[in-house]
Chains A and B, each alone.
Chain A
Amino acid sequence: MVATGTPQARVGASRPGIRAAKPRGRRVGSGRVGYLFVAGYTILLLLFGVAPVAYALWLSVTNSSGQLVGLGNFTRVFADYRFGPVFAHIGLYLVLWLISLMVLVVTLALMLHGRLKRTSAVVRFLCYLPGAFAGASSVLIWLILLDPVASPIGPVLRAVGWSSAAQVVAPENLPVIFMIIAFWTGAGSWIVIMYGALNGIPHEVIEAARIDGAGALQIALRIQLPMLRKWIAYMLILAFAGGAQLFVEPQLVGTASFGQVPDDWSPNQLSYQYAFVAADFNGAAAIAVVLLVLSLGCAAAAVFKAGLFERGHS
């Protein structure tokens, strides 16, 4: 079922929740065997999921000699002159990224839905393909493409006042540049997913509205958009969580910015600086814990609030 059938069929199809999916049948596998089957995965979960979190928590409340210092590390990193700016940077980037994602992805999915099937499929595929270059490749390509000297859109860049590579990667432009890169690599898969979700809306509902005289715009605003709400929430939560962890983009742009962009532009970079430059593992752990809380909060919101993972009622 998962890898067969059409995506449309899957989106919106009823799924078992964690509790709802009670094993069926009269006899189910006994507990002991269950433990054996999950043993390997559970060990990995404990070693590389739980242990690093626990150890980071421990480091964040102790000092380098292993003595408990309460929230000392936190107050210390909060007072760091770099702490405010890294979160301001990432905050600005997140605002741009989430707005572009919400407005453009939903608009494109609505525009592509229900039109010229073949064309729409090709367009969706081309939107999604750049995702293969996520990470360092996409940064490399966009660094060259945004350099007015070599860019195929050089005149456009000069028109907005960017006449040299150094001007483009100036610190104040970075949120926009990272938004462009993130959109290029990440928007396509969400367009594909939103399109699938739109297919989950019963055809009769749309048809009834059309007979009542609703135009495409009204159908989009009154019917399709409200029905996409959960998916939009899910997309925004995951994009927020992922965006807050930005590392590779500022790291690469930092090395290619003629020294303009510091090595501590994003929170993860700052944590990295604490660990590798200052060899201050306790400070690094404190920042990692702040980011961890942020991520966990998002994950919990996606699981318990967005309503996409139906947990059922016991």
Chain B
Amino acid sequence: MTNPSSIASRVPAGRNRASATSVAARVAWVMVVGVFLCFFALPIAWMLLAPTRSDAGIVHGAPFTFGSLDDLAASWRHLYDFQSHAIVTWVGNSALYSFSALAITLVTAVPAGYALATTRFRGRVALLTATLMVMLMPNATLVLPLYLEMNALGLDGSRLSVILPLSFFPFGVYLTYIYYSTTVSGDLLDAARMDGASEWTVFRRIALPLARPVVALVAFFSFVESWNNFFLPFVMLPDSEQYPAQVGLNTLLTASPMFNSSSGISEILRPELALAALLTSIPVLIVFLFSQRALVSGMTAGATKE
């Protein structure tokens, strides 16, 4: 990956005395970083290769080798046949829940962030503080209280009991608030108001078209959080037909004889589990491939330096 001699040649001429220790330091650097790289990357490589092998091949064969397309087809067939293509249902449910929640999030969060940044009203600081607090609380905190509430309302077990709580996304409001506070000039909005535009027109014609970058950012975060949420649907939904992919993986694991000697005969072994983990993560993986930069800007939004 890195060639020590080419690194050493970059050391400034004035430091030649130290070049021996410098090379040693660089070698140590490569080794430490290499170990961590293996830790982070090899499980993914393994996950990509495992579905192409048979279970016996994984146990007895050399690690990190490609099996065959036949074995990949067999893994897929076993997975697809599980509870009459439940995997497709689960991924479909995940998509339904994530996109519905995302739509409601965008419709509510963008106007809210805009108003918090550009208008003044009673309760504004309280609303912002509440948003900040809830945003920093782990989302698992509210799951059981939400279940108790939904149970009292008789809504538990319905798809809405998952979609509606997921669509409450204070982080999205906060990101939009920061975006409008820092980017959109108050003078621009004022000029439009002076020209007689109504508040709605100002928002619709000026603020909304400017919001595209922050909408993408909010969408990224909301989608990933909804898609990867396990606890909320696990608690709310009793029926396998309604499970999203994350909860479906739990069903697969329970059915697999790999880890439960008590479970009946099942074709769900290591290649099928790896394939399921991979397939159900692909949408988030795609988002991740394009969003490293967005992640930093999101996580650091609102932070100030002394």
A binds B: yes
A238 within 8 A of B: yes
Cα distance, A197 to B296, chains bound together (Å): 10
Which A positions have Cβ atoms within 8 angstroms of B?
1-4, 6-7, 10-19, 21-38, 40-42, 44-45, 47-53, 55-56, 59, 104, 108, 111-112, 115-116, 119, 123-138, 140-145, 149-150, 152, 165, 184, 188-189, 192-193, 196-197, 200, 216, 230, 234, 238, 241-242, 244-245, 247-248, 251-252, 255-258, 268, 271-272, 275, 281, 284-285, 287-288, 291-292, 295-296, 298-300, 302-303, 307-310
Contacts of B125 in A (CB 8 A): 18-19
B33 lies within 8 A of A112 (CB): yes
Contacts of A36 in B (CB 8 A): 115
Could you say which of A4, A37, A143, A234 has the most chain B C-beta atoms within 10 Å of its C-beta?
Answer: A37
Contact pick for B193, options A19, A27, A133, CB 8 Å? A27
Contact pick for B37, options A19, A116, A123, CB 8 Å? A123
A47 lies within 8 A of B168 (CB): yes
Chain B interface size, as a band, is 35 or more
Cα distance, A26 to B260, chains bound together (Å): 69
Could you say which of B58, B118, B138 has the most chain A C-beta atoms within 10 Å of its C-beta?
Answer: B138
Q: Known A52-B145, A145-B46; judge A247-B297 contact (CB<8 A).
A: no
B306 lies within 8 A of A307 (CB): yes
B119 within 8 A of A: yes
Q: Known A144-B274, A247-B230, A255-B253; judge A7-B130 contact (CB<8 A).
A: no
Q: A28-B119, A45-B131, A255-B253 are in contact. List 6 more A-B contacts (CB 8 A).
A: A2-B182, A2-B214, A2-B301, A11-B296, A135-B230, A136-B249
7 tightest Cβ-Cβ pairs between the two chains A and B: A24-B186, A152-B63, A37-B115, A256-B259, A29-B119, A3-B213, A52-B145
Query: Please, could you name 23 A-B residue pairs with CB atoms under 8 Å apart, sorted by A?
Result: A1-B183, A1-B213, A2-B214, A18-B128, A18-B132, A25-B186, A45-B127, A108-B36, A119-B2, A129-B288, A133-B277, A136-B250, A137-B278, A137-B280, A192-B295, A197-B300, A245-B140, A247-B140, A284-B148, A292-B142, A298-B136, A299-B132, A299-B134
B17 within 8 A of A: no
A44 lies within 8 A of B168 (CB): yes
B70 within 8 A of A: no
Contacts of B175 in A (CB 8 A): 2
A7 lies within 8 A of B300 (CB): yes
B59 lies within 8 A of A33 (CB): no
